[in-house]
Structure 1
Amino acid sequence: MSVLKTYGQDTASFKPSKTYRIHNGHIEGKIDGLDAVRQSIYLILSTERYQYVIYSGDYGVELAGLIGKRKSYIEGDVERRITEALLEDDRIQDIKDFTITFDREEAKITFTAVTIFGETEIERSVAVG
């Protein structure tokens, strides 16, 4: 079971998602709900899976392996990698409207994360060259 699992099937196992707000590398107060999930998405997508022993094997995303690959390979695999990484957080129910565009050695990725608190648009750039 993932360390990110905070919500069960029944309301008795409900745990708040309140966490510290990270802004410009500093902790500034606390956040909850959709803001906390949005921050979690940012942190997951900023952490390469298996690179840091402090995190469990189901935390982070595997994007470093895409560097130098053909665009067709990246287009076919990056959505799966991001979706699998984000669905480890049980507050995230689905990923939809996934698009990827290339600009030289960078891939611009946009998608909508469907969470238990509502939907949020996410935009991320990934170095691929």
Structure 2
Amino acid sequence: MIPQGGVLGNNRNVEVAQLPSRTYRLDNATNRIVGMTDGLDAVKQAAQLILETERFEHLIYSGNYGREFAGLLGREPAFVQAELHRRIRAALMQDDRIRDVQDMRITVMGDEASASFTVVSQYGSFEMTKGVGAGV
């Protein structure tokens, strides 16, 4: 006889609980914690921190956290443009609150690149700009 107790039937209602996004609010000017934040502001802060943290550089973060911009300097502009698009999207999509990264506009000038894009989250959308390069 095969046990049947561990299987959810079609007639069972399963409620999905949404995890809170409440976190510490960081002041970029003073590099200090200045309170708490939640919702869209918390997602904005998380996206900024993801794009400021080089992936695999800090053992405190999992291998899924951060961005991989190392190795883009000095490469062909077409390669940088395509890879920057892919790497920014991959980094941000690791956050469960972020649903999409849209309207990516990348400009490459010399050894610097700039990306502007719209982040779509479960709390709303916001614009971001990220620069990559020696002087950025």
TM over 0.5: yes
TM-score by length of 1: 0.87
Alignment of 1:1-129 (within 5 A): 12-23=16-27, 24=29, 25-127=31-133
The one-character-per-residue Cα deviations of 1:18-65 (angstroms, maximum 9, x if unpaired) are 111111211101111010000000000000101111110000010012
TM-score (normalizing by structure 2): 0.83
Structure 1 residue ranges, 4+ long, deviating more than 3 angstroms after superposition: none
Structure 2 gap segments, 5+ residues each: 1-13
The CA distance in 1 between the partners of 2:134 and 2:116, in whole Å, is 16
Q: CA RMSD in A?
A: 1.6
For 2:119, what is the secondary structure of its paired residue? strand
8 Å CA contact retained: 1:21, 1:27: yes
Residue deviations 1:43-91 (CA, integer Å, cap 9, x gap): 0000010111111000001001211111110011111111111111010
Instruction: Give unpaired runs (5+ residues) of structure 1.
Output: 1-9
Report if the CA contact (8 A) 2:64-2:94 is conserved: yes
Pick the structure with greater CA Rg.
Answer: 2
Structure number with the bigger relative contact order (C-alpha 8 A, sep ≥ 6) is 1
